[in-house]
Amino acid sequence: MPQTKQDTIIGPHGNLTSALKEWLQSDDSFAEQGKVIRRLDEEPAYRDALLNECAHWIIERHITELRLKKLDNERATLPEAQFRDNLAKKNLLPRNSNTQKGNLGEIILAKYLEEITGYTTFGIHRLTYNTHIDQSMKGDDVLLFNPTNIGKDVIYGESKVRQTPDRAAIEAIVKNLQGNKKFPVSILFYADRLGAKGEEDLFNALDDLHLNVAKKKVPIRNVGFLLSKRDAVHDAQDTFMQVKRYLNTTNPDLVFVALGIDDVQSFVDEAYKRANIILLKGTL
């Protein structure tokens, strides 16, 4: 198939390898000046499998490997009631509904872009550094680096999750991805985290990248992401149709990914429910 504008900026949808591959159907047919959209729709039959993987992603992105190892030990040695009580008091995953939605949007966008581009965070998951689990974390929602040539370019994405798609959400995403705001602000965060792990070469490379981005010497590929409702009958309730209507950007390197699903709130609730089951039982 010929390469689409969306492919050139963020990579082919067909590169997916996880449960996202079966769950998501892609359409790149809409691309105009100021409006380059990748439409994603879910295949409901594959939602259950996706939610199982998504639960693991939630845990991976929120909780450090060391803490998970300690939980495994406690689960194996403590009485079940005591372990359950301790786990509840630790509050390791967000309980605030808005924070849950926001974090899940970041996680899904990050996984999607990592798979289709091959870009990476070098194992640094920013949500594990959030000092208040029930509040949204400041900084770039999704920031990915070229693993074979760190200085070549950067992928920076902004995501939102809404029960129904609205103009304000679309415009807020675009506002953060054009003009001077299209440049990420969190590169030094990743550099410092990697430096603390003894990754001196990566620290130096990202430190240099930060400076070159500030000097506007590095191409930035921007991705807006809205996960919201799918409605084949009412355009005002359909994610793709609302993005098509209200998207308008001066950034030629921005792709807006519009994902429409059925019953957004139940999707979010179920993803976190399964993640909490894994923490409690060690498996689904």
Mean pLDDT across the stretch 34-46? 97
Mean pLDDT across the stretch 31-43? 97
Tokens of 240: 């793709």
Mean pLDDT across the stretch 58-64? 98
pLDDT band at 80 (very low <50, low <70, confident <90, very high): very high
pLDDT higher than threshold 70 for residue 227: yes
What is the model's pLDDT at position 23?
Answer: 98
What is the model's pLDDT at position 1?
Answer: 62
Nearest to 221 by CA among 3, 9, 8: 9
What is the model's pLDDT at position 122?
Answer: 98
Q: Please write the tens of the pLDDT for every residue from 86-135.
A: 999 999 999 999 999 999 999 999 999 999 999 999 999 999 999 999 99
The residues spanned by each domain of the chain are 5-281
pLDDT higher than threshold 90 for residue 233: yes
pLDDT higher than threshold 80 for residue 274: yes
Tokens of 178: 């054009």
Mean pLDDT across the stretch 213-232? 97
What is the model's pLDDT at position 2?
Answer: 76
Longest C-alpha distance within the chain, in Å? Answer: 61
Full DSSP string of the chain: -PPPHHHHHH--GGG--STHHHHEEEE---EETTEEEEEEEE-GGGHHHHHHHHHHHHHHHHS-HHHHHHHHHHHHHS-HHHHHHHHHHH--S--SHHHHHHHHHHHHHHHHHHHHH--B-TT--GGGG-SSTTSPPPS-SEEEE-SS-TTT-EEEEEEEE-SS--HHHHHHHHHTTSGGGGS-S-HHHHHHHHHHTT-HHHHHHHHHHHHHHHTT-S-EEEEEEEEEE--SS-GGG-HHHHHHHH---S-TTEEEEEEEES-HHHHHHHHHHHHHHHHHHS--
pLDDT band at 259 (very low <50, low <70, confident <90, very high): very high
Q: Average pLDDT of the chain? A: 97
Q: Determine the Cα–Cα distance for residues 274 and 195; give it in Å rounded to an integer.
A: 34
Q: Report yes or no on whether pTM surpasses 0.75.
A: yes
